[in-house]
Amino acid sequence: MHNKVNHVYLSLGSNIGNRASFLNQAVRLLSQNCGTLMAQSAIYETAPWGLLAQDDFLNMAVALDTALLPNELLAAVLQIETSLGRVRTEQWGPRTIDIDILLYGTVVVADKSLTVPHPLMHERRFTLQPLADIAPNVLHPLFKKTVTELLLLCPDTAAVSKVTA
């Protein structure tokens, strides 16, 4: 039996090397391996979050229609991270590419290896601002607030500035 197509939102970030190139390569690999690219946000330059002594990030959000199950999508994004040279050292540390699953339709997942909606998305301006480009009215299935509402409520004051349309 085939899994039905689900509308998912992902957050992409890079702060090593040619950051824009890593984002572009990740978008291409996601559309090749994970589903149909439905929308992509502008690219934003953002101050580091959590671990402050590192270079600024470029961040963006994308929407995909995917037939992959949540755990299959996670495996695919981790594989794309590895193929783009990601090496895991410290939590929240520098990376060529980070791909986080923000929303998977209205599905809620609480596994050891996967939490959806992403547990920190509402606390991160660098996640919400790009997501608001492509999903302003999408509802967070637990908080029952739209992305726009979450952005207005977000306490994060770190700089997030648009670098491309």
Catalog residues that contact ligand ADP under the rule CB under 6 A.
Answer: 74, 78, 88, 92, 98, 100-101, 113-116, 118
Phi/psi for 136 (5° steps) reads -60, -30
Query: How far is it, in rounded angstroms, from Cα 61 to Cα 59?
Result: 7
Q: Which of 19, 55, 88, 100 is catalytic?
A: 100
Q: CA 97, CA 22: separation in Å to the nearest integer?
A: 6
Name which of Mg ion, ligand ADP, none residue 76 binds, using a CB cut-off of 5 to 8 Å depending on partner kind: none
Is 91 or 137 the residue whose CB approaches Mg ion more closely? 91
Instruction: Identify which of residues 40 and 59 has a Cβ nearer to ligand ADP in the complex.
Output: 59
Given 19, 95, 124, 125, the catalytic residue? 95
Task: Measure the CA–CA gap between 62 and 39, rounded to whole angstroms.
Answer: 6
Beta bridge pairs of residue 110 = 115
Q: Please, what is the minimum distance in Å from the beta carbon of residue 128 to Mg ion?
A: 16
Q: Which amino acid makes up residue 67?
A: A
The residue among 68 and 101 lying less far from ligand ADP, judged by its C-beta, is 101
100 is catalytic: yes
Whether 98 is a known active-site residue: answer: yes
Report, in Å, the least distance between residue 123 CB and Mg ion.
Answer: 14
Q: Are the CB atoms for 129 and 58 separated by under 8 Å?
A: no
Given ligand ADP, Mg ion, none, residue 88, with its beta carbon under 5 to 8 Å by kind, binds ligand ADP
Q: Is 111 a catalytic residue?
A: no
**Residue 12 identity (one-letter amino acid):** L
Residue 7 neighbours by CB distance under 10 Å:
17
Q: Which is nearer to ligand ADP, 113 or 157 (CB)?
A: 113
Residue 115 pairs with which residues in a beta bridge? Answer: 110
Q: Which of helix, strand or coil describes residue 39? A: strand
| Residue 56 appears among annotated catalytic residues | no
Residue numbers at the binding site for Mg ion (CB under 5 A): 98, 100
Residues labelled catalytic = 86, 95, 98, 100
